Amino acid sequence: MNGAIFCALAAFSLFGANKPKPPAYRTAPISRTDIVSTVEATGTVTPIKKVEVGAQVNGKIVKLFVDYNSVVTNGQVVALIDPLVYQANYDSAVAQLHQNEANVMLREATLTLAEKTLARKQKLRETLSCSEADLDAAIEARDSASAQLAASRAAVEQSRASVSQAKANLDYCTIVSPVDGVVITRSVDEGQTVVSSMNAVGLLTIAEDLKTIWIEASVPEADVGNIREGQKVEFTADAYRDKFTGTVKQVRISSSTTNNVVTYPIIIEAENRGEKLFPGMTVTLAIETERADDALAVTQAAFRFRPKDKETELKGRKLWILGADGDIEAVQPAFGVSDASFTQVLDDSLEGAQVVIGYETATAKSAAGASNPFMPKPPQRGKNKGTAPAAKQ
């Protein structure tokens, strides 16, 4: 009996010692965290509404009442063009109107006299005291006076139109703001002559409201399909450490192509707290396209692991789970939202499982007690928020 036990122990020592040890794996747990998928882009701050204030008449700028950053109100005088020539034209038009009105009075008197003369001639003709020729002459005089009166009245209407035009040109010399806002551009100086031909000459640009601004960004065609109106956006500007938030206002379908890259303009509307953001500033955007709060998550490194001595019939993305016996098994659950670090796992039974992310190396073993900054860390709720807004409480 003792001999049999001795032989069994000898056989185990002989063959068990030569049995290969299972490989050591590096693993990471499947645990819960918040996952946010974002589209990154850069954009430019622009006012929601800006108005170009121009000159509709020619002349020298004799006075500018505003400058850059001036706050203006609707109807406020912002500039004055030399009105001398236009005042003279207006005075001339008014004088011509008065002359034509006097001509109307004269023609009315002439017509009244011609009508009275015609009435007398008609009575005399009834008693044969007036010749037919005299009656015809009276009728012709009446008709001529009536036509001249109509022409004089038309001349008055034409003069009134000339007065209105001259008055409008004179009023155009005084340039007023059409809206309440802030002057963001000034294109002229006092003493400069502006010449308006077919189009109005721009003098000032007024932003109507800077408390709320737009950001115009260009998004590549590969990402634009994930962007929808109303999505939350978080962005930063180089001038501040603050983070600003907004929402996607519009996804425009008008594309542009630069170096064979097709992009689409995206409009983001945001509150401009303290009016810190100036028109023209460049901002960096993170547009939140998908979000999963308190979701089971696996590190992206797990999808890059390929075992050397294992085969599986599963195709596509899969995970290798380390069992209690030290062996690994491939699983292929459904996956959800992904960001740069983690992917959502849609299988609650895998919570807490150790997923293989690589082989343990001799270097890694010797540094087991040290903290390797390149090793993936287990996800923690609230730590993986990317650059998108935090979840609503």
Q: What is the pLDDT of residue 14?
A: 47
Average model confidence (pLDDT) across the chain: 86
Q: Which amino acid is at 211?
A: K
Q: What is the pLDDT of residue 386?
A: 46
pLDDT over 50 (residue 387): no
> H or E element: which one contains 26?
strand 25-29
CATH topology for 40-48+209-291 is Elongation Factor Tu (Ef-tu); domain 3 (2.40.30)
Q: What is the pLDDT of residue 233?
A: 96
The span from the CA of 224 to the CA of 234, in Å, is 17
Task: Check: CB of residue 39 under 8 Å from CB of residue 289.
Answer: yes
Band (pLDDT 50/70/90 cuts) for residue 380 is: low
User: Strand pairing partners for 269?
Assistant: 214, 247
Of the candidates 85, 88, 94, the residue with the CA atom closest to the CA atom of residue 163: 94
Mean pLDDT value across residues 359-384: 55
pLDDT 10s digits, 277-305? 999 999 999 999 999 999 999 999 999 99
- If one compares 11 and 21, the residue with the highest pLDDT of the two is 21
pLDDT 10s digits, 103-153? 999 989 999 998 998 888 888 877 877 788 888 888 899 999 999 999 999
CATH topology for 50-82+174-207 is OB fold (Dihydrolipoamide Acetyltransferase, E2P) (2.40.50)
Instruction: Give residue limits of the domains in the chain.
Output: 40-48+209-291, 50-82+174-207, 84-169
Q: What is the value of pTM for the model shown?
A: 0.67
Band (pLDDT 50/70/90 cuts) for residue 11 is: very low
In sequence order, which residues have a C-beta less than 8 Å from that of residue 349 and are 6 or more positions away? none
pLDDT over 80 (residue 254): yes
Half-sphere exposure of 4 (CA within 13 A, CB side): 1
pLDDT 10s digits, 318-338? 999 999 888 899 999 999 999
Mean pLDDT value across residues 62-69: 94
Q: What is the pLDDT of residue 272?
A: 93
Please state the separation of Cα 72 from the chain's center in Å: 24
Q: What is the pLDDT of residue 1?
A: 46
